[in-house]
Structure 1
């Protein structure tokens, strides 16, 4: 579709969520956003080292990071970037991110006029047009700082036709036994660190977890993710929830309280924090020994073997984790 065709189709279906609209029309979400460049959308510099420092001046805002199966939304304030080698970490007031800058390719400052007033956001996409991270202004954000960010980071070229690079094919499947899986496992401190190592060997994390077996990796039923949230809420158990995509991992630390099912979604709907998880995408769920100091982590993967969420916890967590529904 041309940018003009995208705008026309969007006008006829303006109520649909942006991602749903893009998917239904075979578009990358970034192409949908870019089609409105000059009409409330401004292309800005995408590199996190340039984009995120002025974001701190917005004050309170909402950080949103997603993959195809889970969305996290967290209100807070962005902190400074700490660059360890090839990646960055960001720890602010309530907002914690781990960033791979290689995936921060396209970025837009977006102003949408709605019946409730203007909605302002900064949206970052990878080379294929998949969303990496979004920053939404709230009712208390500094709108003037948003304007200054646009003027500081505006690209010289503003085009509604965005060049995109198709995502590469999935890695071929391999044999866990051929990859020194115990060494890979032991050298990878987190599920997010293990994934890229295995992809290079053509192996998916669930293959490794299945091969490792108990006691290091115990398979759970998909309903375990719902049980986990409900039991942690009922017991007031603090959680660490990690989820995102190759370009941005968002981390929540704290208690969850209001757990609401809605069709195939299970949702956390708390003040300042929302989580939306598609339970029908839970192809593999494991209880592993990869938590802090040898504790327990629940890892959830989709049918392609990609990590959806990893959850661990603090005081009372072991009782929650050991009570989850296991695969017979």
Structure 2
């Protein structure tokens, strides 16, 4: 194993000579390994144990941080503090106006404390990876006054064997079968019409054993409407221009990270669609967007409308809502904005 780690470290060093600014995620892709395998070659990285709830609860002591969650198509960065942290069975929550997370610790495989060098100095981070070694969630210390708290966390949760083998689980098959042909469509749409909460939608999909995009196709014209893949860009620019507060959900599979609030500084750079605000950054590869849907879900508070975007393999890239809390109807300003993005012929 040590020979393999040494060989990988050498290959990475050679790659960095050719591409000095390459990011670790891109380096891992080029070398044909997982990101966590590269992290494990760093001499100053400390592997943490698998007490996922314990680590998250202690992260509250780190004060003001930057939380990062990404998938293959988008990076979601939000600054703030971790508060109201709880775990119950298979799920965890961080509930703060700034750091808002849904955590599925059963998806985690590894965690490391990693000092990251950049032109501004050393960024101290806690990084979680899934069982395939893919980055699931990263936390960057923003206030050096909490360096002692960071060191205490690393010492408290340090893995007993820093040289333990990384047991990487192969990724499951990505090919998805068409689940729309065997479903009772009438019954499915009836139960969709009876939803009481947006969270009930997951249970509806499980009950009828239907994929999300297949469900949207079944409900097209009643609860869903396909739209142009440029709709995300239009939505962000209009939300900024009209000062409509929105919610932006991004999932790594192990963590869902949510921004709630206004967006201001929207910049398109090549294939990247960016939100570059002081407390919230979004970096989205808009050339990855293959399908876009405007979706309506009934709730006890009225209809809740979202824009959901997917890649070519029907993986969810991101979901956008108008900012709201349970018990409060959807913002009229959001509804007007999203209706303005629908093709004219389908407007009611």
| TM-score normalised according to structure 1 size | 0.91
For 2:290 and 2:173, how far apart are their aligned partners in 1?
20
CA RMSD of aligned residues (A): 2.5
Residue 97 and residue 192 in structure 1: after superposition, are their counterparts in 2 closer, same or farther (change >3 A)? farther
Match of 2:336 among 319, 322, 325: 319
- How far apart are residue 210 of structure 1 and its match? 1.4
For 1:154 and 1:146, how far apart are their aligned partners in 2?
12
Three-state SS of the structure 2 residue aligned to 1:304 is: coil
Name the structure 1 match of 2:327.
Answer: none
Name the structure 1 match of 2:163.
Answer: 159
For 1:290 and 1:195, how far apart are their aligned partners in 2?
12
Name the structure 1 match of 2:55.
Answer: 51
Q: Which deviates further from its counterpart, 19-28 or 221-230?
A: 19-28
Query: 2:27 matched to 1:21?
Result: yes
For 1:60 and 1:164, how far apart are their aligned partners in 2?
32
Q: Is the 8 A contact 1:291 1:297 kept in 2?
A: no
Residue 11 and residue 247 in structure 1: after superposition, are their counterparts in 2 closer, same or farther (change >3 A)? same
- How far apart are residue 10 of structure 1 and its match? 2.4
Name the structure 1 match of 2:83.
Answer: 79
For 2:180 and 2:270, how far apart are their aligned partners in 1?
36
Name the structure 1 match of 2:230.
Answer: 223
For 2:117 and 2:284, how far apart are their aligned partners in 1?
29
Q: Is the 8 A contact 2:308 2:318 kept in 1?
A: yes
Residue 183 and residue 40 in structure 1: after superposition, are their counterparts in 2 closer, same or farther (change >3 A)? farther
Residue 195 and residue 55 in structure 1: after superposition, are their counterparts in 2 closer, same or farther (change >3 A)? farther
Residue 178 and residue 112 in structure 1: after superposition, are their counterparts in 2 closer, same or farther (change >3 A)? same
Q: Is the 8 A contact 1:289 1:295 kept in 2?
A: yes
For 1:173 and 1:61, how far apart are their aligned partners in 2?
41
- How far apart are residue 291 of structure 1 and its match? 7.3
Residue 74 and residue 295 in structure 1: after superposition, are their counterparts in 2 closer, same or farther (change >3 A)? same
Q: Is the 8 A contact 2:49 2:160 kept in 1?
A: no
Query: 2:147 matched to 1:143?
Result: yes
Query: 2:178 matched to 1:174?
Result: yes
Alignment of 1:58-137 (within 5 A): 58-137=62-141
Q: Deviations over 1:126-166 (max 9, x none)?
A: 11101110001114561111100011000101027522011
For 1:21 and 1:327, how far apart are their aligned partners in 2?
45
Q: Deviations over 1:203-251 (max 9, x none)?
A: 5322221121113100010000000000000000000111112210001
| TM-score normalised according to structure 2 size | 0.86
Query: 2:39 matched to 1:33?
Result: yes
Q: Structure 1: which 5+ runs fail to align?
A: none
Residue 153 and residue 75 in structure 1: after superposition, are their counterparts in 2 closer, same or farther (change >3 A)? same
Name the structure 2 match of 1:262.
Answer: 269
- How far apart are residue 193 of structure 1 and its match? 2.9
Three-state SS of the structure 1 residue aligned to 2:297 is: coil
Query: 2:291 matched to 1:289?
Result: no
Three-state SS of the structure 2 residue aligned to 1:225 is: helix
Query: 2:315 matched to 1:306?
Result: yes
- How far apart are residue 93 of structure 1 and its match? 4.8
- How far apart are residue 309 of structure 1 and its match? 0.9
For 1:195 and 1:54, how far apart are their aligned partners in 2?
35
Aligned length: 324
